[in-house]
Amino acid sequence: MKPLICSCALILMIIINSGICHSATMVQTPASEISQEVVTRLSPEITQAMENKALRLGAPIFMRIFKESDELEIWVLQGSGFVLFKTYRICDYSGDLGPKEKEGDKQSPEGFYRVGPAQLNPWSRFHLAFNLGYPNEYDRLNGRTGNALMVHGRCSSVGCFAMTDYRMEEIYTIADAALANGQESFAVHIFPFRMTAENMRRHQDHQDGRWQRYWRNLKEGYDLFKRTAIPPEVAVDRDRYLFKATTIELARQP
């Protein structure tokens, strides 16, 4: 089935934005027998877990991935900002700290990505999956190659993030609910580590410091979310990401 994707009334002149546009129109997301069974089985349990934190299944979401600590976070919109719902352990990802540069390098990406309804893959041979959208505009402008990099089930990966089947079922159910309830797309921010000053110093000589400039740029987006609790709007200017604080008003729309 072809997904019907909502659009924001305000068109922003950016390549990658905060993705919290929300519409009253339900969106038809891709579905398989497996995904339908999973969503039906897990939705009541996740609904209760979210209600215990005053959150709602189907509200806009945001994800962050940290390679060094093997963590994937899901944040859910609550009032004036996003609140951490749950942190999931990554079972496996391939490569070292540092971004993916070319097809076949067995690296997992780092950067700012978006996931819309068409990127859900309920037919994945890795149980369930969604495509991260690599290469994004920054990657393409800087000559990075490769494709079909996923967050998926199982516990083996070549350039992707493998979560195990049971963790991926929960992650997929939450992502599907947000997109089906009108979130245009959700942001996935992928970092080598938590971008604290201490960690930046600790890794300053990693691979002879070749990624320090890039990581300082990633830290700008990390820090802006830390200050506002809202994923920033993200644009690209050649070899830099540009960030702008956004408002929550679009996310509050029914």
Report whether 121 contacts 128 (CB < 8 A): yes
- Residue 6 a catalytic site member: no
Report whether 111 contacts 218 (CB < 8 A): yes
Integer Cα distance of 184 and 11 in angstroms = 12
Integer Cα distance of 194 and 144 in angstroms = 24
Distances (CA, A) of 124 to 33, 101, 148: 12, 24, 11
Helix or strand (DSSP H, E) at 213: helix 212-228
* Helix (H/G/I), strand (E/B), else coil: 190: strand
Integer Cα distance of 183 and 20 in angstroms = 6
Phi-psi category of residue 103: left, alpha or beta, with phi > 0 → left and psi -120 to 50 → alpha = beta
- Name the catalytic one among 6, 21, 91, 160: 160
Helix or strand (DSSP H, E) at 175: helix 165-180
- Residue 160 a catalytic site member: yes
- Name the catalytic one among 22, 127, 152, 189: 152
Residues with catalytic roles: 152, 160
